[in-house]
Amino acid sequence: MLVLLESLSFYRNVRVGVVAGALLAVLLYLVRVLELLGPVIDAREYPLFGQEVWFLLLAFVLAATTGLLVAIALTIAEAVRGARNAADERAE
Which pLDDT tens digit goes with each residue over 60-72? 999 999 999 999 9
Range of the domain at 41: 2-91
Is residue 56 within 8 A of residue 29, CB to CB? The reply is yes
pLDDT band at 32 (very low <50, low <70, confident <90, very high): confident
Nearest to 16 by CA among 58, 81, 61, 75: 75
What is the model's pTM?
A: 0.79
Whole-angstrom distance, CA of residue 36 vs CA of residue 39: 8
Total number of domains in the chain: 1
Distance set, CA 32 to CA 35, 37, 66, 68, 87 (Å): 5, 8, 18, 23, 48
